[in-house]
Amino acid sequence: MIDLENITKRFVGANALNGVSLRVGAGEIFAYLGPNGAGKTTTIRILTGLCAPDGGRALVGGVDVVAQPTVAKALCGVVSQAVNLDQELTVAENLDIHGRLFGMPPGLRERRARESLERLDVADRADSPVRELSGGYKRRVMIARALMHEPRVLLLDEPTVGLDPAVRRRLWAAIKRIRETGATILLTTHYIEEAEFLADRVAFLDAGRVVALGAPRELMARLGDWAVDALNGEELRTDFFNDRGEAQTFGAGLPGPFSLRRVNLEDVFLRVTGRKLA
């Protein structure tokens, strides 16, 4: 559903993307991970026609986003990092304007708004001005708005940033429900547990290049199942083990305190790049 073929993008003084190639299948939740400045948002801007690649080819649903930008945009629903709702309008009015922009007739706009708000558990706030909503409600309304025209691809650029853990988990459940409609979801996030819970596959982006790609469990299994963290002088050292008992024995033999935990995706990123995800 999403095809990136050797995409490059250069801004003044730096390459944002350096030959990124990947494919996201229909109905897949795909997490696109990396530190700030890695090129995640640039990729989304290219997919939505907000900027053109300097090289390569980007397709959404088989449509070239440069050659047919209007057609490609109609296939996508977008939730940006920044809250871009009209604060003075009600929730329902925000969704209605979105439907008008996509040429939806009145009856269909009303039905789709109701269905989208119910899916995100915000139907009871339809008549509330957006300015009165909490951050979590605003995020859910943004996703509901993006679903109004039944996009085949949903692009979520850090949709849960700044939200408390309880609200984030409610949004995770909503994203899982959206996948059941057949939509393909591309998600960027700094929350490792979010990617582990939601994603069928993940790609790690660093300095504009894909440095690791695969299912979360598959990538973590390359390191092992268990991790032992311990201070080594001024630095935190992590060792990986397949067996919990072996990891426990190793930790017990260290001269200082240690912690035993499951391997996570941040360990994968650290191993392939040598630096933290966020």
pLDDT tens for the chain, 278 residues: list them.
999 999 999 998 788 999 999 999 999 999 999 888 888 989 999 999 999 999 999 999 999 999 999 999 999 999 998 999 999 999 999 999 999 999 999 999 999 999 999 989 899 999 999 999 999 999 999 999 999 999 999 999 988 888 888 888 888 998 998 998 899 999 998 888 899 999 999 999 988 999 999 999 999 999 999 999 998 888 889 999 999 999 999 999 999 999 999 999 999 988 888 766 65
pTM for the full predicted model: 0.90
The distance from CA 88 to its chain's CA centroid, rounded to whole angstroms, is: 28
Q: Determine the Cα–Cα distance for residues 159 and 102; give it in Å rounded to an integer.
A: 22
Assign 64 to helix, strand or coil: strand
Q: Determine the Cα–Cα distance for residues 165 and 114; give it in Å rounded to an integer.
A: 27
The enclosing H or E element of 256 equals none
Radius of gyration of the chain (CA): 21
Map out the domains of the chain as residue ranges.
224-262
* Cβ neighbour number for residue 249 with a 10 Å cutoff: 12
Pair of tokens at residue 97: 């304007």
Q: Which of 60, 87, 83, 56 is nearest to 73 (CA)?
A: 60
Confidence (pLDDT) at 253: 95
Q: Which of 242, 236, 227 is nearest to 256 (CA)?
A: 236
Q: Determine the Cα–Cα distance for residues 109 and 83; give it in Å rounded to an integer.
A: 22
* DSSP β-bridge partners for residue 138: none
